[in-house]
Amino acid sequence: MSKASSTNTKNKTYFISDLHLDPSQPHLFKLFHDFVEKIREDAETLYILGDLFEFWIGDDIIDLPIGKPYLPIIKQLRSLSDKGVKLYFIQGNRDFLIGKKFMKRIGGTLLPDHQVIDLYGNKILIMHGDTLCTDDKGYQLMRKIFRLWIVQKIYLSMSPLKRSQKAGQVRNKTKQSTKQKSEMIMDVNQLAVEKSIKSGGVSFLIHGHTHRPAEHDILINNEVKKRIVLGDWGEEWSYLEWNAEDKYTLNF
């Protein structure tokens, strides 16, 4: 029996998303470092629900000079898994190229886009959340194209520098089109939310992406279901904490 389980202090599950870590924003790296230190002793599991990075151009950069700025993050996550913390990752729209190599380095597990988990007796559906924004047709089309294996294959065959440039172009384009889109279009579609909860047969839906941290009640077949939205990181941590006594708090 490990020391951790015999002392039974590891009894919390954490959920984070939308940190948008970017080497050009050192304060976010510091925030992440401090967060890892904070959860190190009591975390049983950490779920990262996408957009850990502002952009991720492929796992091969880990061993290249261009990937060097990311090594502290990988090291910190590794230090958690080495301590027995289970790490799970769902790709976001910024870091959907995170794959097996990255997971191997951090000692984590990549989950599919939508995953039902059992957490202290609760059935919970977790996802990044972008697939719920079905009103944003332009985005959904772009998402489909970026997820085609042939598109990814062509992209990954480019040099890291070229890939960085391309990623920058896409981000600028997205920024411009986001300005023209209404707040409504960029939020989740209520029917898509209800459909997900129903088909998953879950009591909770946890996601990020919209940067609108909140807890929503949704009435489905006369039963109250919960949609918990994780927040993005700016000046502070934003996370959901769930303990073995089945209490949860959304901190943002």
Q: Where along the sequence are the contacts to Mn ion (CB under 5 A)?
A: 51, 92-93, 209
Query: What CA–CA distance (Å, rounded) separates 38 from 85?
Result: 13
DSSP 95-113: STT--HHHHHHHT-EEPPS
36-62 burial, b at 16+ Cβ within 10 Å, e below that, comes to: beebeeebbbbbbbbbbbbbbbbbbbb
Question: Which CB, 77 or 230, lies closer to Mn ion?
Answer: 230
Question: Which CB, 44 or 130, lies closer to Mn ion?
Answer: 130
User: What is the smallest separation between the CB atom of 92 and Mn ion, expressed in angstroms?
Assistant: 4
125 backbone dihedrals φ, ψ, rounded to 5°: -100, 125
User: What is the smallest separation between the CB atom of 9 and Mn ion, expressed in angstroms?
Assistant: 33
Query: What CA–CA distance (Å, rounded) separates 9 from 113?
Result: 30
Question: Which CB, 49 or 73, lies closer to Mn ion?
Answer: 49
User: What is the smallest separation between the CB atom of 44 and Mn ion, expressed in angstroms?
Assistant: 26
Question: Which CB, 43 or 73, lies closer to Mn ion?
Answer: 73
Residue nearest to Mn ion as judged by C-beta position? 209
238, 239, 127, 141: which is closest to 192 by C-alpha? 127
User: What is the smallest separation between the CB atom of 112 and Mn ion, expressed in angstroms?
Assistant: 16
